[in-house]
Amino acid sequence: MKYKKILTMVSLTPAILIAGMAVSTAGERQGDQLQAELQAGTLNIRECIVPQDFGGSNAEMQLVPIIDPCDDGGGGNTGPYRAPSTPSSISYAPYTNGETIRVSWGQSQGYGFPVRYQLLERKNSGSWNQVYNGYSRSYTLSNKPAGKYSYKVRATNTSYQSSYRTGSTSIINPRQDDNLYTNYSSAMLAMDQKNQQFRSSTQGAKTVLSRAKMAGQGNVRTTTDEDRFYLGDGFDLVRGTLKETCLDVTNPGFVITKTPPLQPSTFDISYVNDNRQLAELLEVSQSAQIGFAGDDFSLGLSGEKERYVKSVTDESHVRFVVKVNNRREFWKLNTPTDAIYPELVSQVLSPNDNEAKADFRERCGDNFINSANLGSALYLVFTFDAKKYSYEERESAKAELGLKIGDIFSANGSSGSSSSLTEVLNRLEVKINADQVGGPIGLAASINPTNVMQKYNQFVQDTNPTNWAAVDYSTNLYQRPTVYSAFSHEQIFSKYSGNQGPLAQMKRWLDISVQHKERCDPWGEYGQNRPTQCGTSEAEISIAMDLCRETREWADCVHPFQYNTGDITTTTPGTYLLGWLSSNVQKLNEATKSQSYNHHVHRGSKQVNDSTCLASSLCFTNKFRGTGPGIGKGFSVYTAYYDNPRGNGRTYAASPKHCALTRAYLKTANPPFGDTTADWNYSVDVIGQCPSTENFIVIP
C-alpha cells in the first residue's frame, strides 16, 4: 500500500488577560482551568469584574464588568466604547502528519473589559469559518482531513471587534492507520492478552519516552501506562517512541534480573560548542534528536526531544551543561532463543515481504529494550545572551561563568558560595533551563538562578525508590526466529540502518532543521519580522522527514542532495529543496561600519547631516549594542573635538534601520568679538546584523 503524500513549496512565490486582573499563578490559563478556579474561588479577580454562569451543560464562565471605577478607557458602566487591541501573534505548525493542530495566539488589551477571541479557519481556497469563540488563547482542532489550512483570530468585547491577526498556511496530511487487527486478528488479540497479564504481574519503570499508539488498534487501548516502559518493549529508532512488547513473555527463558548499577553516580560540567554537542551532553538518543521541526515537537513524541529543543539556540548564546545521574538499580532482560511471540512469527513475519516487514515494524519497532538503569537524572543548561557583548567581552564573561559554575558545583554549594553564583548569574542575565528524569516530582520546573544550588542538593537528597525512572537504557535487535534461520536479518525485518538508511537520512535532515532554527529564530530576538521563507522551509523540511518516518514511504526517504519537492497540489513542483534553502533562508552575521567625520566652519554656518550605514538596506542595527547616545540603538559616537559657539546641539538616531544618523547645526560667533570657527570632529561605529546567503551543511 502506498500512502498519498501532500507535498508543497508553500508560498515559494488559555489564557485570559484582562487589564487590572491579578492572577494568582503565572502563565496561560486554559478555559477549563479558569472555570475550575472560578468555581473553587481560588482566582483573584478585581471587584469590577465578576463571574457569571450563563447556563447550559457546556456553558463557559464569563467575566462581566459591573461598575465603572476599574475602567481605564474602555467605557463606563455603559461601555465599552472602544475595540480591544488586535491579538499580538498567532502561531501553529506549518505541517503535521496527524489529524490535530493546535493554534495559539497572543494577548489582546481589553482596556478594562473582558476579551473573547474568535478563531476562524479556511481550508485550501475556501471561505473563512469560525471554529472557536471563547476566552482561551489556544485551541486544538481535531479530525482534520488532508488539506492546506489557514487561521486568523480577532478579539471582541460586547460592542466592538479588533482587526484580525492572520497566520501562514499549514499543511495537514494525516496518515492512515494500519489495520492490523483486521489482517492478523488472532495474533493481535493473543498478544494483547499476554501483555496485559505480564504488565499486571511485573513492575514497570517510569520513562520520558512516549508510548506510540498501538498500530491497527483504532481507538482501543490495552494499557493506560503510557508513561512507563517494560523490559521487552519495542523501540522505534526513527520516531524515538516506545512500541508494544512483542517478545514471548510467557516463555520460561524470559527472565528479568535486578542488580546494583556498575556506575552508581556521575557528575559533569561542559561548555557547549554547538548544537550537535548539546545533543550529546543532554544524552539525547539519535532517534529523539530526529525531526523536532514542524509539529513533531508539539506532539510530544519524546521527553528527550523536548529537553533538546528547549536548549537549542543560535551561536550568539553561551551555554554550559551540568549533568547529574543517580543510578540506583540495574535491570537486565534475558530472552529465549525464539524470543518473538509465536503468533507474530506465524502470522505477521514473512521473509522478503515488504508489507509484512512494515506491519511488524509499526507494531513492534526496530529493536527491543533489554536493559535500563533506574534512578534519577538532572540536566541544567546555563545560557546567557551574548548579543550585547563584543567578542572580547563575550570570551571574558564565558570564562567567568564557567569557572564559577565549576567551583560552586564541585563544592556542592557550600556556605557562602551560592550567593556568589547568584551574583554572577544575575549580572550576566543567565537563564537556566532545567529538566529531570525521575527524582522529586516537579523540582526542575522550580529551579531559577536564585535557588539553583538549593534545588540541586534537594534533588540529590530526595531521590528514592518511589520516584526512580529509567535514566538510560539499551536496546537489542530482534532475533531471527529459528524457522527462518536460512534467511538473513534484513530479509525478515525492515532495514533502517546503514549510511543511506532512513535513520541516517533522518539524522541529516535533523541537522538541517537545527541549522534552520539557528537562522530563523534570531530575527525575532532582534525585534525583526521572521522572514516568510522560514515558515515555508520549516514545512518542507518536515515533509522530507516524514518520508523517513513512515515505513511504507522509505523508498522516497533520500539524502538531502537528492531530495526534490513533490508534485501533488504544489505550486512549484520538482524544486531542489537543499538548493532553495541555501539561497532563500539567510543567516544573520554581525556586521560593523566605522566612519570618521571632520567638520570645520570659518565665519559662517553649516548643517551637518551624516549617515553611517551598514552595507545593505537588508541589514539592521543591533539594539543590544551601542554606547552613549547610541545605546540601545546599535551605534557608538566618539567625539574628539566639538566647538559650536552659536549653533544647535547634536542629535542622534537609527534610521532607516541600518543607518546611524548624526546631525548638528554648526555656527560661528560674530566677528570681531566672538569665536570665528565651529568644529565637530568625531567617529561613528555602527554594529548590526546582515543577512547573508550561505550553503546549508549536510553531515556525511
What is the tens place of the pLDDT at every residue in 315-352? Answer: 889 999 998 889 999 999 999 999 999 999 999 999 99
Residue 4 covered by a domain: no
| Same domain assignment for residues 208 and 241 | yes
Q: What is the pLDDT of residues 647-677, one digit of tens each?
A: 988 999 999 999 999 999 999 998 777 889 9
pLDDT above 70 (res 47) = no
> Does 523 reside within a domain?
no
**Are 278 and 366 contained in the same domain?**
no
Q: Same domain for 276 and 395?
A: yes
Please indicate whether residue 91 or residue 217 has the higher confidence score (pLDDT): 91
Taken as a whole, the chain contains a residue count of 700
Q: Residues of 216-248 as b/e, b for ≥16 C-beta within 10 angstroms?
A: bbeeeeebeeebbbbbbbbbbbbbbbbbbbbbb
What are 434's strand-pairing partners?
A: 380
Q: Write the CA distances from 291 to 301, 302, 308, 364, 445, integer angstroms.
A: 10, 11, 11, 21, 25
Residues 439-444, mean pLDDT to the nearest whole number: 92
Q: Is-contact 302 241, C-beta < 8 A?
A: yes
From the CA atom positions of the chain, what is the Rg in Å?
30
Of 89, 90, 72, the closest CA to residue 81 belongs to 72
So what's the pLDDT on residue 99?
A: 86
71 pLDDT higher than 60? no
Segment 122-132, tens digit of pLDDT:
999 899 999 99
Q: Please tell me the total count of domains within the chain.
A: 4
Q: Kindly state whether residue 317 falls inside one of the protein's structural domains.
A: yes
Rounded-to-integer distance, Cα 334 and Cα 251, Å: 11
Rounded CA gap, 240 and 235, in Å?
A: 7
What is the rounded distance in angstroms from the CA atom of residue 637 to the CA atom of residue 32? 54
Q: Do 382 and 344 share a structural domain? A: no
Is the CB of residue 360 less than 8 Å from the CB of residue 348?
Answer: yes
Place of cell 471561505: 127
What is the rounded distance in angstroms from the CA atom of residue 494 to the CA atom of residue 554? Answer: 10
Please give the DSSP secondary-structure letter assigned to residue 642: E
- What is the rounded CA–CA span in Å between residue 43 and residue 34? 8
Q: Which residue has the cell 471582541?
A: 156
* Cα gap 467→120, rounded to integer Å: 44
d(CA 368, CA 340): 10
DSSP conformation letters of 143-156: SPPSEEEEEEEEEE
- 274 C-beta neighbours (distance < 10 Å), count: 11
Cβ atoms 689, 579 nearer than 8 A: no
| The predicted structure's pLDDT at residue 17 | 31
At residue 31's C-alpha, the angle toward residues 27 and 35, to 5°, is 105
Is 103 among the domain residues?
yes
- 449 and 481 Cβ atoms separated by less than 8 Å: no
Q: Average model confidence (pLDDT) for the chain? A: 82
Q: How confident is the model at residue 285 (pLDDT cuts 50, 70, 90)?
A: low
Residue 126 lies in a domain: yes
CATH number for the domain spanning 404: value is 3.40.30
Query: Stretch 362-369: mean pLDDT, rounded?
Result: 94
Residue 593: pLDDT above 90?
yes
Any idea what the CATH number is for the domain that residue 112 is in? 2.60.40.10
Select from 155, 172, 189 the last residue of a domain.
172
**Does 338 share its domain with 406?**
no
Strand pairing partners for 587?
692
Q: Is residue 215 part of a domain?
A: yes
Is the per-residue pLDDT at 54 higher than 90? no
- State the pLDDT at residue 189: 92
70 assigned to some structural domain: yes
Question: Based on the domain organization, do 274 and 196 belong to the same domain?
Answer: no
Burial class (CB in 10 A: 0-12, 13-18, 19+), 646: middle
* Nine-digit cell string for 176: 492512515
d(CA 381, CA 373): 23
The pLDDT of residue 93: 85
Say yes or no: 367 and 385 in one domain: no
CA nearest to 8, candidates 170, 151, 150: 170
The predicted pLDDT at position 618 comes to 95
Per-residue pLDDT, 45: 36
Lowest mean pLDDT among 19-33, 153-167, 225-239, 246-260: 19-33
Nearest-CA neighbor of 1 among 390, 384, 359?
359
Given a cut of 80, whether residue 282 has pLDDT beyond it is no
The reply to whether 190 and 164 lie within a common domain is: no
Whole-model pTM above 0.75?
yes
Asked whether the beta carbons of 215 and 178 are under 8 A apart, the reply is yes
Copy the grid coordinates of residue 128: 473563512
pLDDT value of position 678: 95
What would the mean pLDDT of 484-506 be, rounded to a whole number? 93
Pairing verdict, β 587-602 and 677-692 = antiparallel
Q: What secondary structure, in 3-state letters, does 417-448 show?
A: HHHHHHHHHHHCCCEEEEEEECCCCCCHHHCC
Query: Residue 554 gets which letter from DSSP?
Result: G
> For residue 293, is pLDDT > 50?
no
Q: From CA 95, how far away is CA 168, in angstroms rounded?
A: 11
Judged against a pLDDT cut of 60, whether residue 414 lies above it is answered with no
What number is the average pLDDT over the span 396-413?
85
334: which 3 cell numbers? Answer: 534475558
- 165 and 184 assigned to the same domain: no
Respond yes or no on whether the N-terminal peptide bond of residue 80 is cis (omega within 30° of 0). Answer: yes
Residue 535 lies in a domain: no
Residue 263's pLDDT band (cuts 50, 70, 90): confident
Chosen domain end from 441, 469, 497: 469
What integer pLDDT is reported at residue 601 of this predicted model? 95
3-state DSSP: the chain helix, strand, coil percent, rounded to 5? 25, 30, 45
Q: Give Cα separations from 508 to 289, 314, 452, 505, 514 (angstroms).
A: 11, 18, 36, 5, 10
The residues with which 118 forms a beta bridge, in sequence order, are 133, 154
Residue 657 structural domain: 587-692
Same domain assignment for residues 357 and 380: no
User: Which cell is 609 given?
Assistant: 547631516
Tell me, yes or no, whether 153 and 226 share the same domain: no
pLDDT of residue 480: 94
From 128, 150, 172, the end of a domain falls on: 172
Could you tell me the pLDDT band of residue 3, with boundaries at 50, 70 and 90? very low
pLDDT at position 226 is 60
- Owner of C-alpha cell 469590577: 48
405 shares its domain with 421: yes
Q: CA 16 to CA 33: how far, in whole Å?
A: 11
